[in-house]
Amino acid sequence: MNKSLVFGMAAVMSLAVAPLAGAADDQAKLAKEARISKEKAQEIALKRAPGTVESSELEREKGTLVYSFDIRTGKDITEVLVSAIDGHIVDVSHESAAKEAAEKKKEAQEKKSHKKTTHP
């Protein structure tokens, strides 16, 4: 195979993987700041909103580091934010399936936009 083609393919692949590595680095930095485990936070969230955890993430929201859990409670989703520092409940919000889908779409667009501005 032509060397320039191999180098070109390697360059394209590294650009495709770079945003994923950046996201993993961000999560690793946030995880170092967390004082309680994700498992403990999930226990707390499920006591507040019994159901099935659909998704979870560690993020900064409402001015603090939180574990965010989307918990299916019947037809609706309850989002429970648990402080990753001391385990208190930061916020609880109820969302319909349609509202949840719209929020996920908006987050995906924001991530896509963020990638364009940080990784030209």
Please give the sequence-ordered ranges of beta strands (E in DSSP) within 48-115, or none if there are none: 52-61, 64-73, 76-83, 89-95
pLDDT bin (cut points 50, 70, 90) of residue 101 is confident
Distances (CA, A) of 91 to 2, 7, 18, 33, 108: 56, 49, 33, 20, 22
CA 27, distance to chain mean position in Å, is 9
CATH classification (class only), 3-118: alpha beta
Comparing 2-11, 35-44, 62-71, 111-120, the range with the smallest average pLDDT is 2-11
Q: What is the pLDDT of residue 11?
A: 47
- pTM check: above 0.85: no
**Residue range 20-25: mean pLDDT, rounded:** 59
**Measured between alpha carbons, how far is 30 from 50 in angstroms, rounded to an integer?**
26
Contact indicator for 87, 41 with CB cutoff of 8 Å: yes
Alpha-carbon gap, residue 106 to 103, rounded angstroms: 5
What is Dmax (Cα atoms) for the chain? 60
Residue 4 has pLDDT above 70, yes or no: no
